[in-house]
Structures are given as C-alpha cells and as structure tokens.
Amino acid sequence: MRKSALALGLAAAGIFNVASAATVYDTLPRTVITTDGEVDDMNSVIRALLYSNEMDIAGIVITSSVYHYAGDPAAGIAPFRWTGTNWVYKFLNDYEKVYPNLVKHDGNYRPASYYRARTHIGNITNVGEMDRITDGSEFLKQLFLDDDPRVLYVQTWGGTNTTARALKSIEDEYSNTPQWNAIRQKLQKKLFLYIILDQDDSYNNYIARNWSNLTVVNDRCDFWHFAYAWQLHENDVNTALHASWNIDNLLNKGALMDNYALMGDGRWIDGELPEEQRGVGYIERNPSYDQYDFISEGDSPSFLYLAQNGLRSYENPSYGGWGGRFGAFSGNRAINDALDYNPVNNRFESVYSLSRWFDDMQNDFAARADWCVADEYWKANHAPSVFIQEGNSIFASAGETVMLHAVAQDPDGDNIFYRWWRYFEADTYQDDRRVKPAMQREFFPGTTDFVMNFTRELLPGEILDSIILKGVNTPTLTFTVPADAERGDTIHIICEVQDDGNHTLKSYQRVIVNVR
C-alpha cells in the first residue's frame, strides 16, 4: 500500500520507520459494493479486490438493474440477462489462492473469509424491486445504522433498489419513534451514494423523495469511457486498453486475474445474452476490436475515487482523480459537468477528467496483477510515496512567493522522477473558466446508441495556466500567487513522482493553496 503522507513525513523527520508503521483499517475510506453482475461489474470486482488494501470494504451486495434481474417464476417474471450469484464466490475462492502472494506485497489485504462473510444477496428479482426485505437489504440496514463514525461510500454498480429497501426498512421501523430525527440526521451525515448511471427508478421514486439530503455523486456519462465507449475518444488515452498491452500485462497472472474478461477471450457467461458475450463472433461483427482488447470496467471509478494515491479526490468530488471530477454540489448532488482541458482536441471535456488518468491507473493495476504471482516482494514493483514538508493545505497571500519541498521514497530503491503541475481546472482562482458547458452526444459507430460528454471549446484569448512554476522536475517548487487572487480562492498544485521500475508507477500529493 502507498504509505500515508503522515507516515512518510514522520519517517522523513526521523520519528519512526515507515516500513514498521501498522496500517489501521479505520483510517481508510469505508465502502460497500452493490452490483448487478454484468461482465464489467465482474471485472470491477477483480480490480476492487486488488485495491482492497487501500479501502475498508464493508461488504458486497448482489442487486438487480434494468439490464440484469433474476426473475420470479411465481410472479410470472422471466429472468433477463441474469448471471447468477455464484460468480462472486468463485472470485473470492480465486482471491484466496493468490492471497498468500498479495500479503507479501502489502500486509493490509484481508483474507477471503472476511469478504465471504460479508457477501449478501439483495433485491434481485426484478427491475427496481424494493418491496421485499432481503438478506442484502438487512445487511445494508445494519451498516447504515451502525456506530462507525466514518462516511460510508455506497457504490452503486447496478440499481439502487436494495439500498432503497434498506432505507425503507429504517423508515418503517423508526419514522413514528422519538429516535427518527436523530436517525435521519445520522444517515444524512454518514451515507455517500456514488451512482453509476440510474439503472432503475428506485432512486428517483423513493430515495430522492424521502431521503433528499443524502450526499450523491451521479456519474451519468463519463464512466462510459472506461466502459463500452472507450473507443470513442482519442487513441492517445487508450494505449493501455488495447490487446497488446493487456496480453503483456494482465494475462497469466494467477487464479484471480484468470477471471478478468477481455474481448474475444473465449469465455462464456451463463445467463448473459449471446450478443453481449463479446466473443469472437462479436469481433467479427465489430472489426474495430481486436482479440484481448479491453471490454469494460465502467463501475471501477466509484472505488478508484477512494484510491489512496495522494490526489485527495474523495475529500471533494470537484478535486478530481482516478474516479473523475464532478461539478460543485447542487444541493447535495454532484454530476458530470466539470470540465478538464484536453490538449489533443483543444477543448474542455468532462470525460477527460477521467481519461487523463488511464495510463497511470492501468500501470498501477498491472503491478497489482504481478503481485498475484510474485511470491517475493522484490519480484514486483511498488509505487513510490511523496510527502510535502509544508503540508497538503496551506495559506498564502496574493503576490506571495510560495516554496514547496517534496520528500519522496521508493520501496524498491528505484530512481524517482519529479513532476509538479497545477491542476488549474480544479482551482477556484480565475473562475471565469467555468463557462456553462454544452452536452454533446457521441455515437457508437454504425448505431443510433450514444453517450453524453459535457464539453466546450477554448475561448478566444483564454489563458489556460497563468501561474509560472519553477523547479517542476526537482523536489522543490517555487511560484508566486497571482496579484489578482482574491480571498477564498484556491490553487491546486500536484506533486507527481514516478519510479523507473516495471510499469513506471506513480503517486501524487495534492497541495491546496488557500488565498487569505
């Protein structure tokens, strides 16, 4: 695991050795996964297990969606694209096989038995079905009501119906009791829903109406570009999604990764429609794909949002990171209208807030795939760490010169390369950049299907980055806060460190400069 900035800073000060610092789960973001079992959900579960050392996964709940449901013969409801529930347990069995190697690279991985005991079947019979109390809904109810003081990030990879059922059960039990107001306030502070698309109507019909103050990030469009729409954007960000990269980095990496689905790999998922299998026949009908190309991990942004990589994205959706970047909350809800500048097409795009990280995300994933088969620590690469001596949030006045000092370490003894840059899109300084974006439809080749991308063109005379950074490739950065910066403005500076080991891994540290 990437060592925390605090641990690295204390080590740099000689207070204790990072290598001996114990990792405590209650310092990590706490989350629960709800999934409808599509092929991209399956791929995301594999990645999530390999990142389970960086978050406290409280459980996995199988649910339904408009795309996948189990059916109910007694009610005359036929199953639709239902992939069953056994796949999760198979993945956990295969995780158990590689676990002895994983813990040699990070002792923070939990055993498979922990996740088996916390895997539950929720409301799966139909689209949006939330009338039944299920094992999964009761498990979520328990998590929602427990006394853990941390935010609980509820990842929604399918429909919200099991989450809705859990909330409805809480409402039914407590709405006419003296505890009701306190419970509502507790859940409003505790729950954070990260929704990948609206895959049934239970959010709009129940949660939004009855729990309107819950914090929600709704990724309605950007996720598609780490999913089935990945070929719609420029090839510059697709390097690590093509077959050649996948073959070199993801194949033959042990029992767990053997489940990772790639285009035309010969797998067959029971219950799924033939045309959705992405087999050899699919490639023949869609010649833009090669065998072993990336298929989809459209749900992974919801937990990569929590990655402990120093970008601090989970502190605020508008900061941006491996889960993408979102607009400022409108009430309690954030959506995909935050724009990052794409230098390839010379325009601002919401999707680039996610796709700009693809190479870094994939290289980091490849290293973890190596951990599954590397039975000694020295046989694989591990990400460097970086600490900023002045702190991660500092104050400075307009016109003031700021100097930042980075201390980086690499656990493998690799060479470290520095790169400082300003994430100007995340700033609040020069807020005139936030011109209202337009929604653009991007069509899949040869179809009428489309995905959305919020976008706008570069304005005439618009200056992208007006702050001059000095020492960008050294441990020490110097810059001057603009004279026209106003009190309350923020400037986001990223210190990025990269090693020269296998997969050239990166870590970051974001420094937020608050103008006083």
Q: Reply yes or no on whether the pLDDT at 311 is more than 50.
A: yes
As given in the structure block, the two tokens for residue 285 are 């009908």
d(CA 453, CA 112): 38
Q: Do 454 and 438 touch, CB atoms closer than 8 A? A: yes
Q: Reply yes or no on whether the pLDDT at 6 is more than 60.
A: no
- In the chain, % of residues over pLDDT 70: 94
Beta strands in 53-204 (DSSP E): 56-62, 119-121, 152-156, 191-196
* pLDDT at residue 361 in the model: 98
Please work out, in degrees rounded to the nearest 5, the angle formed at the alpha carbon of residue 95 by the alpha carbons of 93 and 101. 130
Decide: helix, strand or coil at residue 96: helix
Cβ neighbour number for residue 384 with a 10 Å cutoff: 24
* pLDDT at residue 21 in the model: 34
Q: Which helix (H) or strand (E) holds 454?
A: strand 450-457
* pLDDT at residue 331 in the model: 79
d(CA 21, CA 385): 14
Strand partners for 56: 30
Cβ neighbour number for residue 16 with a 10 Å cutoff: 11
End-to-end CA distance of the chain, in Å? 35
Cα radius of gyration (the chain): 23
Q: Which amino acid is at 240?
A: A
Q: Give the residue, 448 or 274, on which the prediction is more confident.
A: 274
pLDDT in tens, 471-485: 999 999 999 999 999
Q: Reply yes or no on whether the pLDDT at 154 is more than 60.
A: yes
User: What is the three-state SS of 372-392?
Assistant: CCCCCHHHCCCCCEEEECCCC
As given in the structure block, the two tokens for residue 59 are 């459980």
Q: Reply yes or no on whether the pLDDT at 2 is more than 80.
A: no
58-62, 177-181, 255-259, 277-281: least confidently modelled range: 277-281
CA atoms within 13 A on the CB side of 44: 28
432's CB contacts (< 8 A; 6+ apart) are: none
* pLDDT at residue 448 in the model: 75
Helices (H) and strands (E) in the chain, counts: 14, 18
135-149, 308-322, 362-376, 439-453: least confidently modelled range: 439-453
d(CA 433, CA 366): 36
d(CA 119, CA 136): 8
The mean pLDDT value for 252-274 works out to 96
According to DSSP, the β-strands at 416-422 and 347-349 are unpaired
pLDDT in tens, 344-360: 999 999 999 999 999 99
* pLDDT at residue 506 in the model: 98
Q: Reply yes or no on whether the pLDDT at 8 is more than 50.
A: no
pLDDT averaged over every residue in the chain: 92
Query: What confidence tier does 432 reach under pLDDT thresholds 50, 70, 90?
Result: low
According to DSSP, the β-strands at 416-422 and 490-499 are antiparallel
Q: Give the residue, 160 or 25, on which the prediction is more confident.
A: 160
Q: Which domains does the chain have, with CATH numbers?
A: 22-223 (3.90.245.10), 384-429+466-516 (2.60.40.10)
* pLDDT at residue 234 in the model: 85
Strand partners for 500: none
Q: Which of 325, 75, 36 is nearest to 202 (CA)?
A: 36
Q: Which amino acid is at 185?
A: Q
Q: Reply yes or no on whether the pLDDT at 9 is more than 60.
A: no
Q: Reply yes or no on whether the pLDDT at 12 is more than 80.
A: no
Q: How far is CA 377 from the centre of its chain?
A: 26
pLDDT in tens, 380-416: 999 999 999 999 999 999 999 999 999 999 999 999 9
The mean pLDDT value for 253-259 works out to 98
Buried b (16+ CB within 10 A) or exposed e, 26-37: eebbbbbbbbbb
Query: What confidence tier does 179 reach under pLDDT thresholds 50, 70, 90?
Result: very high
Query: What confidence tier does 26 reach under pLDDT thresholds 50, 70, 90?
Result: confident
Query: What confidence tier does 233 reach under pLDDT thresholds 50, 70, 90?
Result: confident
Alpha-carbon torsion angle 254, 257, 263, 264, nearest 10: 40
Q: Which helix (H) or strand (E) holds 304?
A: helix 301-304
Q: Do 369 and 249 touch, CB atoms closer than 8 A? A: yes
Q: Which helix (H) or strand (E) holds 511?
A: strand 506-515
The mean pLDDT value for 97-103 works out to 98
Q: Do 492 and 486 touch, CB atoms closer than 8 A? A: no
Decide: helix, strand or coil at residue 461: coil
Q: Which amino acid is at 381?
A: N
Q: Give the residue, 81 or 437, on which the prediction is more confident.
A: 81
Q: Which of 496, 467, 457, 89 is nearest to 321 (CA)?
A: 496
As given in the structure block, the two tokens for residue 302 are 């919801």
Q: Do 362 and 390 touch, CB atoms closer than 8 A? A: no
Query: What confidence tier does 14 reach under pLDDT thresholds 50, 70, 90?
Result: very low
Strand partners for 152: 30, 191
At 313, phi and psi to the nearest 5? -65, -30
Please work out, in degrees rounded to the nearest 5, the angle formed at the alpha carbon of residue 80 by the alpha carbons of 62 and 446. 110
* pLDDT at residue 488 in the model: 95
The mean pLDDT value for 70-95 works out to 97
Q: Which of 195, 189, 145, 147 is nearest to 167 (CA)?
A: 145
DSSP single-letter state for residue 453:
E
Query: What confidence tier does 4 reach under pLDDT thresholds 50, 70, 90?
Result: very low
For the chain, the farthest-separated pair of C-alpha atoms sits apart, in whole angstroms, at 72
d(CA 24, CA 108): 8
The mean pLDDT value for 191-199 works out to 96
Q: Is the pTM of this model over 0.75?
A: yes
Q: Reply yes or no on whether the pLDDT at 434 is more than 70.
A: no
Q: Reply yes or no on whether the pLDDT at 207 is more than 50.
A: yes
